Amino acid sequence: MKGKVADGLFWKILENGGSQGIQFVITILLARLLTPAEYGVVGIIMIFIIIANVFVQSGFSTALIQKIQADETDFSSVCYFELAAAVVVYGLLYLAAPSIARFYQIPVLEPIVRVLGIVLFPGVVISVQSAYVSRNMEFKGLFFSTLAASLVSGAVSIGMAYAGFGVWAMVGQQISYYFSLMAVLFVTVTWRPRRCFQFSRVQGMFSFGWKILCASLLDTVFNNLYGLLIGKIYNEEMLGSYTRGEQFPKLIAANLGSAIQAVLLPAFAANQEDKALVRDMVRRAIRLSSFAVIPMLLGLFAVADTLVLALLGEQWMVCVPFLRIMCISYCFWPIHITNLQAVNAVGRSDIFLKLEIIKKGLSVVALIVGMQFNVFVMVCIKAFQDFLCTFVNAAPNKKLLDYSIAHQWMDVMPSAGLSAVMCIAVMAAGAWLTDISVWLKLAVQIVCGVLVYTGLAAAFKMESFCFLVNLVKERKRRNSKD
């Protein structure tokens, strides 16, 4: 299991880093070709598509991973059932398109909703393929598939943007990404849908998955509610700035954190009957993800203004406050994800749903209070609410795994402390470097942050740092033997 987890972790991080690196470059190019308002238009639609995807997939991906014994009939039955659900949901989106366009007073939203909604169908197949990958730890195939899809969709979107298609360039990017990823996964992953369907299998998993569906729906709606309200109360340009500001920290937290969790969830589930072992694995996940995620987010906080000016240009500087606020918010991501994955792994989707209901109650309060102020204060209150939710997510694992929030913060604080020191050092370097080009300033700040953090981690012999060093050495030894 240790070897499979190490290999899976290697390929999953490589997949996220490679694909997101390509998409990052594409995003920068598109930001110089498109306006914040055009980004805001697609941002509104993607919120509806994300919510629709939750309805279609219904928590079945997690159920397939968590199920102790899942065979070809389970995977094929789920695939066909979700495709049927996608037909229904797409039909509802198609009918709702005129109302969405009228609500936001943006006529172009109507055709965009109807065209972009097509991604629901390849999304169904990808979700089942990804569940198979996670369960069998075939992350190498997922790496090559995601990389290829990123290249194809990037070429399509940039070509359309240069040709003057405007907002439709981003629509083309999404559609080409989903369809190319599905196609390449059929080549790189061993699973294929079989001509078999048993509704009883779907019913069995739905008893677990419906709670995940409700929890995911609550989480998705509330996570995107700020975008919906900003787009309506203010304008699509402000929404574009908020979306762009959130995108950079979310890119780091969601991808580095999910890379670790995607590999460890099947490992948690495979050992769910040994609570002591699961607890040790959860602690390792929190330590590792905190060690990787927090310094990158606080480093991004420190270089936010330099980064935006260098990569996006003066027109996007309005997104810097959003970027910094969301950097702080996403610092709590490792605790959120790990605790929720542990709850799912031991089969307690009922607790998962209860946690989401409690957190969304806090979200409603935070939103009502935040709407009394300007948009920046509203997002700050959201970040504080995310911090409070770490205590909610951690509460069940005190009983389930004997791993309290106090112990979790003790595992997080070494990484957080060193990251704070690094952040101060990087900001000081930026304040001192005033008479050089913005690109050189950014490079110096990044190098400074890397040297300070890794130097401190090595000097204090941090457990996560030593673990990763030993993991790399072990992989080299195994490769040399092969």
Task: Give just the sign of the alpha carbon dihedral 84, 89, 93, 94.
Answer: positive
pLDDT value at position 136?
73
Token pair for 297: 């987010």
pLDDT band of 208, cuts 50, 70, 90: low
Q: Exposure pattern of 4-38 as b/e (b: 16+ CB <10 Å)? A: ebbbbbbbbbbbbebbbebbeebbebbbeebbbbb
* 261 belongs to a structural domain: yes
Q: Looking at per-residue confidence, does 2 or 46 come out higher?
A: 46
Q: Looking at per-residue confidence, does 271 or 44 come out higher?
A: 44
* 380 belongs to a structural domain: yes
Q: Which of 33-42, 189-198, 326-335 has the lowest mean pLDDT?
A: 33-42
Mean pLDDT of 112-136: 86
CB within 8 A of 239, min separation 6: which ones?
A: 39, 40, 43, 44, 227, 230, 231
Query: Does the structure show a pLDDT above 90 at 298?
Result: yes
The boundaries of the domain holding residue 475 are: 238-482
Mean pLDDT of 418-429: 93
pLDDT value at position 285?
77
Percent of the chain having pLDDT more than 70? 76
- Greatest CA span in the chain, whole angstroms? 69
pLDDT digits (tens, 9 = 90+) for 121-132: 998 898 888 888
DSSP string computed for 298-363: HHHHHHHHHHHHHHT-GGGGGGHHHHHHHHHHHTTHHHHHHHHHHHHHTT-HHHHHHHHHHHHHHH
pLDDT digits (tens, 9 = 90+) for 336-370: 777 777 776 666 767 877 887 888 788 888 888 88
Query: Does the structure show a pLDDT above 70 at 14?
Result: no
pLDDT value at position 202?
81
pLDDT value at position 424?
95
User: Of 46-50, 105-109, 220-224, which one has max mean pLDDT?
Assistant: 105-109
Query: Does the structure show a pLDDT above 70 at 3?
Result: no
173 close to 153: Cβ distance less than 8 angstroms: yes
* 65 belongs to a structural domain: no
pLDDT value at position 270?
61
Q: How many domains does the chain have?
A: 1
pLDDT band of 44, cuts 50, 70, 90: confident
Nearest-angstrom CA–CA distance, 374 and 381: 11
* 245 belongs to a structural domain: yes
How many other CB atoms are found less than 10 A from the CB of residue 146? 25
pLDDT band of 257, cuts 50, 70, 90: low
How many other CB atoms are found less than 10 A from the CB of residue 460? 12
Nearest-angstrom CA–CA distance, 225 and 363: 10
Nearest-angstrom CA–CA distance, 51 and 220: 6
Nearest-angstrom CA–CA distance, 62 and 128: 10
pLDDT value at position 357?
82
Map residue 190 onto helix, strand or coil: coil
pLDDT band of 405, cuts 50, 70, 90: confident
Map residue 34 onto helix, strand or coil: coil
pLDDT value at position 448?
93
pLDDT value at position 445?
93
CB within 8 A of 300, min separation 6: which ones?
A: 248, 249, 252, 307, 323, 327
Nearest-angstrom CA–CA distance, 117 and 230: 22
* 20 belongs to a structural domain: no
pLDDT value at position 428?
92
HEC letters along 212-235:
HHHHHHHHHHHHHHHHHHHHHHHC
Dihedrals phi, psi of 41, to nearest 5 degrees: -60, -50
pLDDT value at position 358?
87
DSSP one-letter code for 119: G
Q: Which of 156-160, 228-232, 392-396 has the lowest mean pLDDT?
A: 228-232
* 279 belongs to a structural domain: yes
pTM, entire model: 0.63
Place of tokens 């490992």: 267
* 481 belongs to a structural domain: yes
Mean pLDDT of 266-278: 65
* Average pLDDT along the chain: 79
pLDDT value at position 111?
92
Place of tokens 């393929």: 129
462 close to 289: Cβ distance less than 8 angstroms: no
* 307 belongs to a structural domain: yes
Query: Does the structure show a pLDDT above 90 at 284?
Result: no
pLDDT value at position 450?
92
Q: Which of 16-25, 70-79, 118-127, 163-172 has the lowest mean pLDDT?
A: 16-25
